[in-house]
Amino acid sequence: MKPFLREKVPVNFEDVPDTTSFEAGYLVTKNAGWRNVRPVIDTAKCVGCLNCYLYCPDGVIFKKDGKVAIDYDFCKGCGICKKICKVQAIELEAEK
Amino acid sequence: MAKQFLSGDEAFAYGIRLARPHVISAYPITPQTIVVEKLSEFVEDGSLKSEFIHVESEHSALSCAIGASSVGARAFTATSSQGLLYMAECLPYAAGGRFPIVMMNANRSTALPWNIYGDQRDSLSQLDSGWIQAYAENAQEALDLALLGYYIAENKAVSTPFMANLDGFVLTHTYEVVDVPSQEQADEFLPLFETENKMSLEKPKNLAFSAGPDTNSIFKYKEHIGILNAKSVIAEAEGKFEAIFGRKYTGLTENYQTEDADYILITLGSISGLVREIVDKLRKNGEKVGLLKIRYMRPFPNEEIAQAVKNAKAVAVLEKDISFGNEGAVYTNVNSALQKAEINIPSSNYIGGLGGKNISPQEIEDIFAEIKSGISDIKFLGIGGV
Amino acid sequence: MAVTAKTLNETEFFYGHKACAGCGGSLAVRIALKVLGENAIAVLPAGCMSAVGFNFPQLCFGNNAIISTFAGTASMLTGVQAGLKAQGITDFQAVGFAGDGGTADIGIQALSGAIDRNDDILYICYDNEAYMNTGIQKSSLTPFGAKTTTTPAGKNIHGNIRPKKNMFEIVAAHGIPYAATASVGYLNDFMKKVEKAKSIKGTKYIHILAPCPTGWGIKTDETVEIAKEVVDCGLWYLAEYENGNFTLNHKPNEFSDIEKYLKKQARFKHLTDGDIEIIRKSRDEKWEYINKNFK
């Protein structure tokens, strides 16, 4: 199962478990705020080789319509995808 | 039920066989070795179906037991002295993770100087680790604590690891006639281990995580409540135990002739047998003396102690332990119980039996004589040379 | 057929974690879990990956996962494996992810014990060549010459004076069923090795070099290329140990420039020509050994 964002942030007494065990893959915060640059995919250039998907340390690049797309909620903007892309289909744009 | 002639270590191993743990992690240390040797024989002869893991250290022994418990398996390990200290990192880990592991500790002195004989400085140094701590007086109680231990530890409201302490050599290696219950009786007493605090393929979980300042206190408070809940569960377990096995235990403490006693000696472990004899002797001379045996150091019997000594004129604590730079740890705990109950009587502390030093009947008599003086004092036994 | 980016399990199991941007260790964990699938039960000791993945209530493993004590990765794996086996559960893979310090220093005793017992576990060491989680201190897998916060580079001493401990061959010397080296610069090779390890019973060990931009002093986008380069210049190698034999999986025709590799990283900036010559010489000796003893 892929970890995903939840609405409830269990930090109150009744929500905190009795033991140090909890549902797997429980996310309450995004990583988008870490980013200085945003990778943007030029789908016209993308050949769907999946190298960026394979080498992304955060796993935020996913397959879409034979090509790839990015989950910007969790991309940290490291730039590995741009470097690894053989057809220069990814550009980094400054985050405002 | 069958009567057998067993040492304390052997009796504990028989108790563990009856509890049928899934995983046993074993590393030898004197005077615990007989337990793991005996269990390996049970596994070899097929009378115990456990995964028997030859770990390479005590740290790994408890780490392995935690791993087993984290997938819902019943786990056992045993240690002593330096071994307990070597695994010390894993003690609060098991307690904080609320893994109901049962561990036998053969009470033994800790280096330096090196010494393989019994005192209780090893386990008492770990009072704050979050484990339930029980102290057995004899081999029968040792066997019974193996079963009671799992019952208490695995109760959902408790979910706390259980350390059963046996005095090194005096109890671990001394043979007594022991009633060994049948497997049917044991199964009737001890339910299967069921927990939600585990990793399972059906319900994936993340365990043993970090908790920052926001929630850390909540986790620690809940851990504290868990071990306090053991008080009522111990009573429940002992009630069921008596109904099935016919042996009665008395909870966190055991009182002997304390009802009308003016002077009460408080102690724990195997020395209690000798103190009982001296109480009988002095009672024959008309002296109103009594024994309060602490069976559980955690959860601590604050109310039970206060109740038992409230009409006494003075008390003394005899323990095989010293918290260097202060006093015996048991004494500190007892005084706290008295103070909270507003019992303002003299209390003395006798540090004895260190490194296996014999405590003589005369010394016990002397303690009873001295506490009548009404002076609070801390005194070492056994430093007069040989 | 070997698993590739196209056939790899599409589910992400390690997601939303707080590792630094461009973290090589998180890439190794992510890919290994995708190869192993949802029945992997992960044990991670104190260290980067547990620190970034398990902050309640932000829990970043989609599969079962637990933090062990720093020294206890292998022993906890043993307990997990034995605990499930004793309950009749067999369709899982217990996998450990420990860093270089957690493996080659504080965890080596427990690891050795587990291999000795031949427990059915997979142990993956993500090697970023220093204690990165505590702020870049030297471990026994820090290479010669590297500047860390406990091996400063000054006039008298030029960083770490000791070579990297040879964990791969130490593990192999136990007679382990399967051991391998890998690099996050060569993920297809790594995936193949994880897949192979999954199919082998007994203890498996994979040592994957995983650059840390923060600790190595490289840009966040350089992790993968530096992890390729370390293999290409011969300072790391891709190999396997199986059935008593060592196999080299990737033999560079000629080594790329060692100095170029080193000088890209802030941790090696201070190295003199003499220091670099020592590194080159030790590389050549290593390869002489590999060429002689590895198939």
* B207-224: pLDDT as tens digits: 999 999 999 999 999 999
User: b/e string for C135-166 if b means 16 or more Cβ within 10 A?
Assistant: ebbbbbbbbbbbbbeebebeeeebbbeeebbe
Interchain pair C58, A74: CB under 8 A: no
Interchain pair B54, C117: CB under 8 A: yes
Interchain pair A25, B214: CB under 8 A: no
- Mean of the per-residue pLDDT values of chain A: 97
Task: Using an 8 Å CB-CB cutoff, list residues of chain A that contact chain B.
Answer: 1, 11, 13, 16, 18-26
Q: How confident is the model at residue C1 (pLDDT cuts 50, 70, 90)?
A: confident
Containing structural domain, residue A48: 4-94
The whole-number average pLDDT for the span A17-23 is 97
Residue C197 has pLDDT above 80, yes or no: yes
| Residue in chain C lying closest to A82 (CA) | C221
The whole-number average pLDDT for the span C120-127 is 98
B2-245, superfamily in CATH?
Thiamin diphosphate (ThDP)-binding fold, Pyr/PP domains (3.40.50.970)
Which pLDDT does position A96 carry in this prediction?
81
Domains and CATH numbers, chain C: 24-293 (3.40.50.970)
Contact (CB, 8 A) for B118 and B353: yes
Residue C242 has pLDDT above 80, yes or no: yes
- Mean of the per-residue pLDDT values of chain C: 97
Residue C69 has pLDDT above 90, yes or no: yes
Which pLDDT does position B373 carry in this prediction?
86
Write out the H or E segment, with its range, that includes residue A90.
Answer: strand A90-94
- B49 CB-side CA count, 13 A: 4
In chain B, ranges of CATH 3.40.50.920 domains:
253-380
CA distance B30 to B315: 34
The shortest C-alpha distance from A67 to chain C (Å) reads 11
Residue C127 has pLDDT above 90, yes or no: yes
Phi, psi of B97 (to 5 degrees): -80, -10
Q: What angle do CA B241, B243, B246 make, to 5 degrees?
A: 80
Q: 3-state class of B168 per DSSP?
A: coil
Residue B376 has pLDDT above 90, yes or no: no
Q: How confident is the model at residue B285 (pLDDT cuts 50, 70, 90)?
A: very high
CA distance A46 to A43: 5
The whole-number average pLDDT for the span B203-210 is 98
Q: Which candidate from A18, A20, A25 shows the least CB-CB separation from B208?
A: A20
Q: How many Cβ atoms sit within 10 Å of the Cβ of residue C188?
A: 13
Interchain pair A55, C187: CB under 8 A: yes
For B253-380, CATH number? 3.40.50.920
Asked if A94 has any chain C CB less than 8 Å from its own CB, the reply is no
Pairing outcome for strands A26-27 and A37-41: unpaired
Which pLDDT does position B377 carry in this prediction?
85
Return the percentage of chain B with pLDDT > 90, whole number.
97
Q: How confident is the model at residue B174 (pLDDT cuts 50, 70, 90)?
A: very high
Contact (CB, 8 A) for C104 and B92: no
Which CATH number belongs to the domain containing residue A77 in this structure?
3.30.70.20
3-state SS, one letter per residue, for chain C? CCCCCCCCCCCCCECCCCCCCCCHHHHHHHHHHHHHCCCEEEEEECCHHHHHHEEECEECECCEEEEECCCCHHHHHHHHHHHHHHCCCCCCEEEEEEEHHHHHHCCHHHHHHHHHHCCCCEEEEEECCCECCCCCECCCCCCCCCCCCCCCECCCCECCCCCCCCHHHHHHCCCCCEEEEEECCCHHHHHHHHHHHHHCCCCEEEEEECCCHHHHCCCHHHHHHHHHHHHHCCCCCCEEEECCEEEECCCCCCCCCHHHHHHCCHHHCCCCHHHHHHHHHHHHHHHHHHHHHCC
Interchain pair C83, B68: CB under 8 A: yes
The whole-number average pLDDT for the span B239-254 is 98
A35-55 pLDDT per residue, tens: 999 999 999 999 999 999 999
Interchain pair C221, A80: CB under 8 A: yes
CA distance C129 to B365: 65
Domain count, chain A: 1
Return the percentage of chain A with pLDDT > 70, whole number.
100
Residue B183 corresponds to which amino acid? Q
The whole-number average pLDDT for the span B192-211 is 98
- Residue from B71, B99, B158, B206 to probe the interface with A (highest A Cβ count within 10 Å): B206
Q: How confident is the model at residue B384 (pLDDT cuts 50, 70, 90)?
A: confident
User: Using a CB-CB distance cutoff of 8 angstroms, which residues of chain C are in contact with residue B59?
Assistant: 69, 71-72, 75, 110
Write out the H or E segment, with its range, that includes residue B228.
Answer: helix B213-245
**Shortest CA distance to A46 belongs to which of A2, A4, A82, A8?**
A82
| Residue in chain C lying closest to A24 (CA) | C62
CB within 8 Å of chain A, chain B residues 83-112: 96-98
- Residue from B197, B210, B220 to probe the interface with C (highest C Cβ count within 10 Å): B210
Residue B386 has pLDDT above 70, yes or no: no
Q: Which candidate from B97, B198, B219 shows the least CB-CB separation from A16?
A: B219
Contact (CB, 8 A) for B51 and C63: no
Task: Note whether ipTM > 0.85 here.
Answer: yes
Residue C294 has pLDDT above 90, yes or no: yes
The shortest C-alpha distance from A65 to chain C (Å) reads 13
Q: How confident is the model at residue B375 (pLDDT cuts 50, 70, 90)?
A: confident
pTM beyond cutoff 0.95: yes
Q: How confident is the model at residue B37 (pLDDT cuts 50, 70, 90)?
A: very high
Task: Using an 8 Å CB-CB cutoff, list residues of chain B that contact chain C.
Answer: 22-23, 25, 49-51, 53-57, 59-61, 63-73, 75, 89-90, 93, 199-201, 204-212, 215
- Mean of the per-residue pLDDT values of chain B: 97
Q: How confident is the model at residue B381 (pLDDT cuts 50, 70, 90)?
A: very high
Q: Measure Cα distances from B224 to B103, B156, B158 in Å.
A: 20, 14, 9
B318-332 pLDDT per residue, tens: 999 999 999 999 999
